[in-house]
């Protein structure tokens, strides 16, 4: 890749991570989207030629159980202000670098400390679509991505490192309990227009994580937006949280860069190309007791229950 291409890719990553409204409106970021003329089928470079692209479909029956240490979510139980904004591609929350105690993650098989940069959402106009990653080829209606940058790296350096970024994905199943998104609910009405947004005081990231956030899938992949840089260690939390119909409909009222309704903003799943998908169960040692018998039963049961839970959320 020549210097000009590297510079363009770096600019794209900056825009993706920090979602600068002015840059999005006037720079490279404005030329891609989710509509027929600028959607995923038209995205260039690595988005077309990459071999470790995201998102992917996860078949729970064909994952590799792994003895991965616990992941630590540090300062996720602290609260401070974030800025919620519609960047024309999603609703994003930024400002974590200004917190007195910035949230970060470590452990869980990660090689280093990763600091929270932002989170954003992917959804659809339909309840049976929306999440970028799928489970047994089925989708949740909403998926949140918590984007973390490896400590000690610049954004440009992270772009060319296999593990420069660590993204934690959280699935949302439709239900009556809207507590995970309740702190954002009112502010979502202020971000319908492209460039619109609001400041949320005393935001607590931990509220958006499932109760059991130590059961997860792990694989190496890419950003799911241009330039689709293959620099991401993905952690997908297996247990979903809930989102109400009212909250989903508020997300669906947001406008894209073209001024049209952002009715869907997810990239289709990409080929696995031989990559391993690891699964961290709740109790690894118990799974491998009795000469592996419990492991075999648990693997089948996890696959069945995962799909059962997802199917039930769509009914």
Supply the residues annotated as catalytic: 89, 120, 122, 132, 145, 224
Q: What is the dihedral of CA 32, 34, 40, 41, to 10 degrees?
A: -100
Contact, 251 vs 91, CB < 8 A?
yes
Q: Where are the alpha helices (DSSP H) in 123-224?
A: 155-159, 182-188
Question: Which single residue is written with the structure tokens 């900056």?
Answer: 14
Q: How far apart are CA 116 and CA 55, in angstroms?
A: 20
Taking alpha carbons only, the member of 230, 58, 86 closest to residue 158 is 230
Cα–Cα dist 75/198, whole Å: 23
Which residues have CB under 8 Å from 199's CB, separation 6+? 81, 82, 83, 84
């Amino acid at each position: 890749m020549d210097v000009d291409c590297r510079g363009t890719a770096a600019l794209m990553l900056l825009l993706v991570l920090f979602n600068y409204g002015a840059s999005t409106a006037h720079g490279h970021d404005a030329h891609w989207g989710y509509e027929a003329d600028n959607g995923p089928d038209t995205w260039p470079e690595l988005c077309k030629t990459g071999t470790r692209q995201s998102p992917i479909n996860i078949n729970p029956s064909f994952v590799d159980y792994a003895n991965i240490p616990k992941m630590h979510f540090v300062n996720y139980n602290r609260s401070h202000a974030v800025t919620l904004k519609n960047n024309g591609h999603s609703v994003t929350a930024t400002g974590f670098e200004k917190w007195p105690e910035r949230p970060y993650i470590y452990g869980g098989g990660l090689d280093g400390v990763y600091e929270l940069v932002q989170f954003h959402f992917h959804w659809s106009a339909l309840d049976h679509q929306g999440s970028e990653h799928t489970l047994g080829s089925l989708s949740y209606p909403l998926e949140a991505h918590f984007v973390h940058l490896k400590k000690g790296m610049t954004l440009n350096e992270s772009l060319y490192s296999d593990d420069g970024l660590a993204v934690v994905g959280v699935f949302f199943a439709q239900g009556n309990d809207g507590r995970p998104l309740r702190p954002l609910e009112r502010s979502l009405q202020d971000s319908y227009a492209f460039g619109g947004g609001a400041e949320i005081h005393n935001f607590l990231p931990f509220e958006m994580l499932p109760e059991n956030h130590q059961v997860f899938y792990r694989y190496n992949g890419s950003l799911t937006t241009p330039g689709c840089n293959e620099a991401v260690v993905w952690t997908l939390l297996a247990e979903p949280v809930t989102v109400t119909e009212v909250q989903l409909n508020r997300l669906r009222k947001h406008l894209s860069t073209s001024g049209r309704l952002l009715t869907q903003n997810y990239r289709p799943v990409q080929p696995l190309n031989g990559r391993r998908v690891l699964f961290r169960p709740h109790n690894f040692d118990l799974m491998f007791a009795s000469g592996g018998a419990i492991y075999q039963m648990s693997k089948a049961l996890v696959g069945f229950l995962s799909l059962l839970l997802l199917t039930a959320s769509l009914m």
